[in-house]
Structure 1
């Protein structure tokens, strides 16, 4: 199972946000390797020709330490730049803490970074979000969806895909914690179904898990008094 997410990262420490604010188009597309490699501080940025940004303009940015002009692609001017990140960003995006893959280029705007990323599961994304917020970097979730599980994940215990999705979401949201961190109504809203349907999915999924592990008729030892 994997999770597809779309979110906005807001922080004054984010590079290129100031540049985006000064451009007529108000945005920059870029590809970067944050969260993937220790030394991935190289960004490939795509600029509209009408923004009229030169190598000298990029060199004047405090965070840029090296620039290579790559020409033009898809009608945009392309540059490879090396960024010197602020320490807080280096810590927050430490690659060994996350398993995430970029789906589409980051869109840098005056509001922050719009990201589309693939995470292993809900818990991995929540860990990423919590850690960023611990460093004062708010994450505004725009959308999150579960990708279809592999046949091995759901068929191992005889679960349907929807049962697997419901149970995974419930676990990631703390439904089985004590005290509970969420309700079936909140889970149902996130899955786009009714509360009774959510309760039924969880109940049937739980029963299937118990049956697959204990058997249909578990033998119980009778304790003698």
Structure 2
């Protein structure tokens, strides 16, 4: 499977703020779609945290946020958006997952994606439909264990991650996950177990030889 690195020019949001502070480092550490939009955690490394806080309080796209951490060089905030940004919608529509953290530099969001050729092609089509300016910086072959999964195993594990099945504590039970996947509990268990077995054995293949 290929691993692609791409960057997209995104108007508004953290990307626009990073364009105002091109020397600072912005990273989205995590994000999760909600019923109302998107919940995200943003880290900003800067030489002037006070200036960043003033700008955060003035930007129109950020109606509110929670300051999780602040020191002389770093801000960590949690915020929500009342919509799903176009690149995230493109990822979801093409059955891909973002790989965190997402770096943001001077208005560009940079991300890495490891996926199948088919899903990468669908992601490109979905990005084209958004009208955003983007650039595929590189495409290389990956040896990630998840590349060995079938499309069904990949889909089941993707859904499991999105619904918090692998979180601690779990965000959903196996029964809830099976309902979301529209399969029986036993089917969900078997597919996930086979996928987990493939990933674990491949990951430790060299160390147990």
Question: Normalised by the shorter chain, which TM-score bucket?
Answer: 0.5 to 0.7
Is contact 1:33–1:40 with CA below 8 Å preserved after alignment? no
Shift of 1:28: 1.1
2:115 equivalent to 1:116: no
Q: Tell me what 1:50 maps to.
A: 47
Partner of 2:2: 3
Query: Which residue of the partner structure matches residue 122 of structure 2?
Result: 127
The aligned counterpart of 2:80 is 82
- Cα separation, 1, equivalents of 2:20 and 2:139: 31
Structure 2: give runs of 5+ residues left out of the alignment: 150-209
Q: What SS does structure 2 have at the residue aligned with 1:18?
A: helix
Q: Does 1:147 align with 2:146?
A: no
Give TM-score scaled by structure 2 length.
0.57
Contact 1:102/1:118 (<8 A) preserved: no
CA distance, structure 2, for counterparts of residue 96 and residue 83 of structure 1: 17
Judging changes above 3 Å, is the alpha-carbon distance between structure 1 residues 126 and 138 closer, same or farther for their aligned structure 2 residues? Answer: farther
The reply on whether 1:15 has 2:13 as its aligned counterpart is yes
Residue 124 (structure 1) shift: 0.6
Larger Rg: 1
Aligned-residue CA RMSD (Å): 3.4
Within the candidate set 23, 38, 46, 1:41 is matched to: 38
- Cα displacement (A) at 1:96: 4.5
Query: Within 1, Cα distance between the matches of 2:6 and 2:148?
Result: 27
Q: 1:94 deviation in Å?
A: 5.4
Counterpart-to-counterpart distance in 1, 2:148 and 2:99: 23
Work out the CA distance in 2 between the residues paired with 1:79 and 1:94.
Answer: 25
Provide the rounded CA distance (Å) in 2 between the counterparts of 1:142 and 1:8.
7
* Contact 1:21 1:27 survives alignment (8 Å): no
| TM-score after normalising by structure 1 | 0.53
Alignment deviations for residues 111-139 of structure 1 (CA, whole Å, 9 cap, x no partner):
421112232x0111111111111120133
- Identify if the C-alpha distance between structure 1 residues 105 and 51 changes in structure 2 by more than 3 Å, giving closer, same or farther: farther
Partners of 1:40 and 1:32 in 2: CA distance: 14
Counterpart of 1:187 in structure 2 is none
In 1, Cα distance between the equivalents of 2:144 and 2:15?
Answer: 36
How many residue pairs end up in the alignment? 147
2-side partners of 1:142 and 1:148: how far apart? 19
